[in-house]
Chains A and B, each alone.
Chain A
Amino acid sequence: MIEVKNISKSYKKTSALQNISLEVQESELFGLIGPDGAGKTTLMRILMTLLLPDSGDATINGLNVVTDFKKIRHIVGYMPGRFSLYQDLSVEENLSFFATVFGTTVEENYDLIRDIYYQIEPFKKRRAGKLSGGMKQKLALSCALIHSPKILVLDEPTTGVDAVSRKEFWEMLKKLQQKGITIFVSTPYMDEAILCDQVALIQNGKILDVDSPKRITEKFQRKIIRMRSDEMFRLINDLRKFKKAESVFAFGQYVHFTGINDDVEESELDLYLEKLNHKNVLVEEIPPEIEDVFMNLMKQ
């Protein structure tokens, strides 16, 4: 559905994308995962025909992003990273404006957006600027879907949205996927990666890996140990001083530890921490998560 071949793009001297290639299948939920400044938005803007690549080719549904840009604009729904609706127009007015612009009506495609729109419908007279972050998100998604696009492209849709709304949002994406819409979504959140069928890890304009989240973690052979104690901050610092430590990262309530080799034992760490007077210490081996893989790939 989306095919990217050796795309490069630089802004003056900064190279934003270097030889990017990837492929998105029909009705797939594809995630572009990477930190800020990795080149996610640049790639999306090229696909959305808003930016010309310096070199390489990209096609959407067989249409070239440079030469067939007009046709592409009819089949894609785009939700830019920033909330990009008219803040001084009401929910209802925004929706019907975008419907008309795409030559359709709200009624015609209401089925597609019903699940999302019914949640904000009670506020349909409210100006978009006065909606909460989660509701803005739903409205933006409704507007992007109103012309029943074949492909939905979402640039960091969950950045700045609360945890509950994020979860809801991904559930909505899953439902849309079941309706046969191909979804290309970027996110800086690793925990959202596992919800995708395929992910591409991107950093500094380069693709590190493209695979299913499951395969990506399976391919990763390192031993990950997670730990917790009463004093998390001191724990991190102490672990970083540990001779056999290769990487130590805070992961929510835990610290993920990778040794210089996989022979570092849990008991070894337990002993080390006890000596340093850490209380309520928990040390256990866990299967690697996608974030562990990403952290590791980034270092290389």
Chain B
Amino acid sequence: MKQLKSFIKKEFFHILRDPRTMLILFGIPITQLLIFGTVIKNEISDVHIAIYDQSKDETTMQITNKLLSSGYFILNQNLESTDGIEAIFKKGKVKQVIVFENDFGQKLIREGNASVQLIADATDPNLARLVTSYTTGIVNDYIKKMHPNLQMPLKTEPEVRMYFNEEMKSAYQFVPGTMALILMLISALMTSISITREKEMGTMEILLVSPLKPVQIIIGKVLPYLILSIINGFIIVSIGHFVFGVPVTGSFVLLMLETILFILMGGIFTPVESMPSWAQIANHINPIYYLMRMLRMIILKGSGFFDLLEEFIALSGLGILFLSLAIWKYRKTT
């Protein structure tokens, strides 16, 4: 026990004294989370648009105002003809052009039917899709409110509710994702690296000749990173919560427990170079598969322990398997 304690102490010295290790442990998760949170988004905001309003009546003005005050769009310029559209797109700043037909407002009231054309720059198809659907939503919403008697012709609108992530916020997606990534990096990778480092420095020779048992060495290597991972998990969830407003609906303790379970299997970092068709089946022995599921379920759905039983058993089984393999392999090298 004393030996193990002193081994763990030594391991902490290694980690705390190496700026690079510290950077990987704490710098990467935080920056990654902040970058993902602010750069990679499924929502849109401040998208530049151009408007060609042939009608210039009250209705189109109000629709334009509504679009611009939504926060999603910024008016780049007003067009006077359709000629400039392609040129504007080529400049790259404007992502969408809205064209209202002549007498838009009058037609709408008289005929119950008026056209608005949305032209989007589809070089980024994902963005184009988002932009047009946002615009459609706003226009329809406005018309419905202004003219409640109007039947939207040829249109059945499905009412979509996104469960567990009502607003389709991307932060909900990447907080659990980053967590899995980071835990993977720290637990599996860093533990393996620290063992490799012993070998490179030649200190493994001395450890092997010493009366230290393989199990003491492996546990001594895993435990410090386990503790750091818990701290890390805490930081990630906190940033997710306080900066991006991702709620943890489930139990934080359960979340950490499942995380620990995952971390307990250092030394499983194997690159998957290609993903053939049987990968789906093979994925069932991949611990990250279970971890991701559990993280999402706890953070977003607020699932309890018994909902996660299947994953829990699978992950425990894999954990024991990999840890035993590591110890067995280590023993063989002595």
Give me 16 other A-B pairs in contact (C-beta within 8 A), A50-B205, A103-B3, A143-B206 excluded: A50-B209, A50-B334, A76-B209, A78-B209, A83-B202, A84-B201, A84-B203, A85-B206, A87-B201, A88-B14, A89-B14, A93-B10, A96-B6, A97-B10, A100-B3, A101-B211
Residues of B within 8 A of A76 (CB): 209
Distance in Å: Cβ of B213 to nearest Cβ of chain A: 9
Distance in Å: Cβ of B334 to nearest Cβ of chain A: 8
User: Which residue of chain B has its CB nearest to the CB of A85?
Assistant: B203
Cα–Cα, bound, A69→B203 (Å) = 19
User: Which residue of chain A has its CB nearest to the CB of B2?
Assistant: A100
B17 at the interface (CB under 8 A from A): yes
B234 at the interface (CB under 8 A from A): no
Q: Judge whether A103 and B2 touch: CB under 8 Å.
A: yes
Cα–Cα, bound, A83→B200 (Å) = 11
Cα–Cα, bound, A214→B10 (Å) = 47
Counting chain B CB atoms within 10 Å of each CB, the highest count among A74, A96, A100 belongs to A100
Cα–Cα, bound, A69→B208 (Å) = 11
Q: Judge whether B206 and A102 touch: CB under 8 Å.
A: no
Residues of B within 8 A of A97 (CB): 6-7, 9-10
Distance in Å: Cβ of A84 to nearest Cβ of chain B: 4
Interface string of A85-109 (1 = CB under 8 A from B): 1111100010011101111000000
Cα–Cα, bound, A96→B7 (Å) = 11
Nearest first, the 6 closest Cβ-Cβ pairs linking A and B are A84-B202, A100-B6, A82-B202, A80-B205, A78-B209, A88-B17
A225 at the interface (CB under 8 A from B): no
Cα–Cα, bound, A84→B207 (Å) = 10
Residues of A within 8 A of B211 (CB): 70, 73-74, 101-103
Cα–Cα, bound, A52→B5 (Å) = 31
Q: Which residues of B178-231 have CB atoms within 8 Å of chain A's CB atoms?
A: 201-203, 205-212
Q: Judge whether A101 and B201 touch: CB under 8 Å.
A: no
B166 at the interface (CB under 8 A from A): no
Cα–Cα, bound, A84→B209 (Å) = 12
Residues of B within 8 A of A82 (CB): 202
Counting chain A CB atoms within 10 Å of each CB, the highest count among B6, B207, B209, B210 belongs to B209
B residues with CB within 8 A of A: 2-3, 5-7, 9-10, 13-14, 17-18, 201-203, 205-212, 334
Residues of A within 8 A of B9 (CB): 97
Q: Judge whether B205 and A84 touch: CB under 8 Å.
A: yes
Residues of B within 8 A of A98 (CB): 206, 210
Distance in Å: Cβ of B332 to nearest Cβ of chain A: 11
User: Which residue of chain A has its CB nearest to the CB of B15?
Assistant: A88
- Say whether chain B's binding surface is mostly helix, strand, loop, or mixed: helix
If A84-B202, A97-B6 touch, whether A89 touches B209 (CB-CB below 8 Å) is: no
A49 at the interface (CB under 8 A from B): yes
Q: Judge whether B209 and A48 touch: CB under 8 Å.
A: yes
Interface string of A165-209 (1 = CB under 8 A from B): 000000000000000000000000000000000000000000000
User: Which residue of chain A has its CB nearest to the CB of B333?
Assistant: A50
Cα–Cα, bound, A149→B39 (Å) = 61
Residues of B within 8 A of A101 (CB): 3, 6-7, 207, 210-212
If A73-B211, A100-B3, A101-B211 touch, whether A89 touches B10 (CB-CB below 8 Å) is: yes
Cα–Cα, bound, A212→B7 (Å) = 43
Q: Judge whether B206 and A88 touch: CB under 8 Å.
A: no
Residues of A within 8 A of B18 (CB): 88
Cα–Cα, bound, A101→B212 (Å) = 6
Residues of A within 8 A of B201 (CB): 84, 86-87
Cα–Cα, bound, A101→B213 (Å) = 10
Distance in Å: Cβ of B30 to nearest Cβ of chain A: 24
User: Which residue of chain B has its CB nearest to the CB of A93?
Assistant: B13
